[in-house]
Amino acid sequence: MIVCKRRLSHWQRWRIKKRKDIMKAKPFYESKTFWFNGLFLLVSVAAVFGFASWQPDSLWLEIVGVIVAGVNIALRLITASAIK
């Protein structure tokens, strides 16, 4: 029987490391994603109740929505551990 010994690619080593890190859960208040979304929610609610002195047009609302989605995806990609 021939055993093929090959090196793991960078991607495979990264996935194995990430799986090991997932076992280490952290409290929710240490999550960058949680704080970013909480801050965005706070600013959005403040704008609804008139704490903002200007009203953005619909184009800016769409742009901000895309930016928030992009930041959430980026934060999720760099996250190495689960939340308790």
Q: What is the pLDDT along the chain (84 residues), one digit of tens a residue?
A: 555 556 767 777 777 666 655 557 788 888 888 999 999 988 888 877 877 676 777 788 888 889 999 999 998 888 877 777
Range 68-73 contact pairs with CB under 8 angstroms and sequence separation of 24 or more: 68/40, 71/36, 72/33, 72/36, 72/37
**Domain presence at residue 44:** yes
Task: Give the count of domains, the chain.
Answer: 1
**Domain presence at residue 46:** yes
**Domain presence at residue 13:** no
pLDDT score of 52 = 67
**Domain presence at residue 9:** no
pLDDT score of 24 = 74
pTM exceeding 0.85 = no
**Domain presence at residue 66:** yes
Token couple for 52:
């903002």
Domain that holds residue 65: 27-84
